């Protein structure tokens, strides 16, 4: 979950690349070859292969099918990690307890880099490390380990990033090994499900994944002499220069991981590396640099996106791939992966191309609607569905105002829904994951933090295939609604409390009016002011007595559809949409609620 700021929104992703060096056309196989392959597939896979055929004249880059040829999607690899203290110069002189004690927000507060420890990684099976595998027969550290992730770094069970040292070998061609616990979701396989689904979608780039059973021996305190069971993880391939090469991308190109970015220009931070005021740490609060560090092309694109004198269709033709953007957004909408407004994505551009592409990252928020309902947690509601979920992003807002873009998006949604995200296919895949994952979820140590009972686990897994249709209906409804907007910070002027908000938008150009309420509680049971059918985005009322207050604004159109403001107030039970919290002080000043959602 991300708290929307005044300039908030997010960037979406997916990958389908054109006009770049090293273009991969593996999916455009000869008809004879495809016919032979289809004969060996299930009926469901054969249909997917048929749907994946492309016009031979298309130049969109396709993922490498050969990367996934030997995938066993339900296999479990066992990894053994022996952790020890390293040295100060490499920032590895830390205990395992220290590694697991701090979140990324703690590191931000302390102003230090994430702690690491030295580690020996060995790969094998439940009987131990296997001959010929990484780390077999070794006793000295061959890697470093640290906590990875953002919000997840606050969980009791951590995610880990293991970095094999140079000349110490690779695991499946990878030196960076990401192990994700996915403690925030009860199924513990949603991220893997998402990437395995993407493998069959020609217009998207997937990443390799693997279930991993992790054991850890802590030698940093000198007391542990055996391996402790850390339960089940999902390994996800790191999209770095090695990953770029593996997928046929240009490793000399630009690649950024979106940490918190809405495609606004941010001239004070997004600068060239040789600028005197360039600050990489501030830059990477928005965009983490994973490829070429020449930001000239990025800046040129952002300047154009934020130039409203240039039509968006012209911008799309010059700087983006319409197919890429629409299929990425379509996929996120149908799977309900809503935490993609301003993070959880990569953007990539080949070295000798102006075109930018979106690549999916971190999909464990997919298919969560039923689980949230069962857990009685309010999330993914209100504007966090359909196209309104992307309205806070300047690029996507401009795209969505284009009828051409919306038509292409609708085509992509129907294609995915009818050919790749069918209920039968989802049901089959989920049952296969469940047969592996559930036994770990309800065994130590994972059962300590499993949010669902076993009966609820079965209920959610059975409901997930139907969520595609639910999300599709929410998408259709979002086209009819006004778009969300931001509420401004109240001010006191001329002995009046003045409230204002941004103007909403309607795709059918219907007249919009607003309902405004001010209450002493977020449930709006103690309302002190209410005004309906407000034609203008502002109002004034008598200044209330000192205390905490909530303002809620809702837009409505002539067809009877309503929409909440972007702002929301978070409690232990989740989000309360469409409202802003503020305080009136004893000396008649306004203090805005400073809640900073992580």
Distance between CA 158 and CA 449 in Å, rounded?
Answer: 12
CA dist., res. 81 & res. 444, Å (int): 18
In this predicted structure, the answer to whether residue 20 has a pLDDT above a threshold of 60 is no
List, for residues 236-248, the tens digit of each pLDDT value: 999 999 999 999 9
Residue 517 placed within a domain: yes
Do 441 and 300 share a domain, yes or no? yes
pLDDT of 40 above 70 = no
Please give the average per-residue pLDDT across 200-218, as a whole number: 97
Average pLDDT, the chain: 90
Domain assignment present for residue 145? The answer is: yes
Q: Domain end: 426, 446, 475, which one? A: 475
Residue 522 domain-assigned (yes or no): yes
Residues 288 and 320 in one domain: yes
Q: What is the pLDDT of residues 467-478, one digit of tens each?
A: 999 999 999 999
Compute the average pLDDT of residues 272-294.
96
Based on the fold, state whether residues 153 and 94 are members of the same structural domain: yes
SS3 579: strand
What is the average pLDDT across 99-111? 91
Domain total in the chain: 3
Q: What is the pLDDT, as a whole number, of residue 221?
A: 83
Are 421 and 343 members of one domain?
yes
Tell me which residue has tokens 């802590």. Answer: 218
Query: Are 390 and 452 within one domain?
Result: yes
Average the pLDDT over 15-33 and give the result: 36
Query: Is there a single domain that holds both residue 312 and residue 267?
Result: yes
261 and 341, same domain (yes or no): yes
What's the rounded mean pLDDT across residues 83-94?
Answer: 94
Distances, alpha carbon 65 to alpha carbons 16, 196, 246, 350, in Å: 14, 12, 11, 20
Mean pLDDT, range 156-178, rounded to an integer: 95
Separation between Cα atoms, residue 422 and residue 554, nearest integer Å:
35
Domain shared by 276 and 397, yes or no: yes
544-551: average pLDDT:
97
Does residue 30 carry a pLDDT above 50? Answer: no
Q: Are 447 and 439 in contact (CB under 8 A)?
A: no
> What is the reported pLDDT for 225?
79
Q: Which residues contact 307 (CB under 8 A, 6 or more apart)?
A: none
Residue 310 lies in a domain: yes
pLDDT band at 133 (very low <50, low <70, confident <90, very high): very high
> Domain end: 443, 475, 507, which one?
475
Tell whether the model's pLDDT for residue 25 goes beyond 50: no
Q: Is residue 500 part of a domain?
A: yes
CB atoms closer than 10 angstroms to residue 237 = 22
What percentage of residues in the chain have a pLDDT greater than 90? 85
| 579-597 pLDDT per residue, tens | 999 999 999 999 998 754 4
- State pTM to two decimals: 0.89
Averaged pLDDT for residues 410-427: 98
State the CATH number of the domain containing residue 497. Answer: 2.60.40
Please give the residue range of the domain that contains residue 555. 491-592
Same domain, residue pair 206 and 160: yes
231 and 290, same structural domain?
no
Average of pLDDT values for 167-176?
Answer: 95
């Amino acid at each position: 979950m991300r708290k929307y700021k005044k300039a908030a929104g997010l960037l979406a992703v997916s990958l389908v690349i054109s006009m770049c060096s090293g273009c991969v056309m593996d999916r455009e196989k000869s008809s004879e070859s495809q016919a032979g392959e289809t004969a060996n597939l299930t009926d469901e896979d054969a249909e997917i292969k048929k749907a994946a055929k492309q016009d031979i004249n298309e130049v969109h880059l396709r993922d490498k099918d050969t990367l996934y040829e030997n995938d066993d999607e339900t296999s479990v690899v066992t990894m053994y990690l022996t952790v020890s203290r390293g040295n100060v110069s490499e920032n590895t002189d830390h205990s395992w307890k220290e590694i697991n004690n701090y979140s990324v927000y703690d590191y931000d507060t302390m102003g230090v880099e994430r702690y690491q420890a030295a580690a020996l990684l060995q790969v094998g099976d439940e009987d131990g490390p296997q001959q010929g595998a990484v780390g077999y027969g070794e006793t000295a550290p061959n890697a470093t380990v640290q906590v990875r992730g953002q919000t997840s770094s606050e969980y009791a069970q951590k995610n880990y990033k293991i970095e094999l040292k140079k000349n110490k070998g690779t695991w499946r061609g990878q030196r960076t090994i990401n192990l994700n616990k996915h403690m925030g979701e009860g199924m513990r396989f949603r991220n893997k499900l998402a990437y395995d689904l993407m493998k069959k979608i020609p217009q998207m780039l997937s990443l390799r994944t693997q279930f991993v059973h992790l054991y850890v021996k802590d030698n940093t305190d000198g007391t542990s002499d055996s391996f402790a069971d850390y339960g089940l993880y999902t390994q996800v391939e790191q999209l770095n220069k090695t990953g770029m090469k593996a997928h046929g991308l240009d490793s000399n190109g630009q690649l950024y991981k979106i940490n918190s970015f809405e495609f606004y220009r941010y001239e004070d931070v997004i600068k060239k590396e040789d600028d005197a005021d360039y600050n990489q740490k501030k830059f990477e609060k928005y965009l983490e640099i994973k490829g070429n560090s020449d930001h000239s092309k990025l800046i040129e694109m952002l300047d154009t996106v934020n130039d409203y004198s240039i039509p968006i269709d012209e911008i799309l033709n010059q700087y983006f791939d319409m197919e890429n953007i629409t299929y990425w957004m379509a996929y996120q909408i149908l799977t309900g992966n809503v935490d993609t407004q301003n993070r959880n994505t990569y953007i990539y551009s080949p070295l000798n191309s102006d075109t930018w592409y979106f690549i999916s990252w971190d999909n464990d928020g997919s298919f969560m609607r039923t689980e949230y309902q069962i857990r009685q947690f309010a999330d993914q509601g209100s504007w966090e569905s359909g196209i309104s979920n992307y309205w806070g992003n300047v690029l996507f807002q401009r795209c969505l105002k284009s009828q051409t873009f919306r038509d292409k998006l609708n085509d992509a949604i129907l294609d995915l829904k009818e050919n790749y995200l069918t209920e039968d296919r989802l049901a089959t895949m989920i049952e296969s994951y469940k047969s592996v994952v559930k036994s770990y979820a309800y065994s130590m140590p994972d059962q300590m933090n499993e949010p669902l009972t076993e009966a609820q686990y079965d209920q959610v897994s059975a409901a997930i295939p139907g969520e595609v249709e639910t999300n599709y209906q929410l998408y259709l409804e979002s086209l009819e609604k006004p778009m969300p907007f931001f509420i401004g910070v109240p001010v006191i002027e001329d002995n009046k409390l003045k409230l204002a908000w941004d103007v909403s938008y309607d795709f059918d150009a219907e007249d919009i009016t607003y309902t405004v309420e001010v209450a002493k509680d977020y449930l709006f049971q103690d309302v002190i002011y209410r005004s309906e059918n407000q034609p203008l985005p502002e109002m004034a009322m008598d200044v209330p007595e000192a205390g905490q207050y909530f303002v809620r604004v809702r837009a409505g159109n002539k067809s009877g559809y309503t929409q909440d403001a972007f702002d929301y107030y978070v409690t232990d039970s989740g989000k309360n949409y469409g409202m802003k919290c503020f305080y009136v002080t004893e000396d008649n000043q306004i203090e805005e609620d400073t809640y900073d959602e992580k």
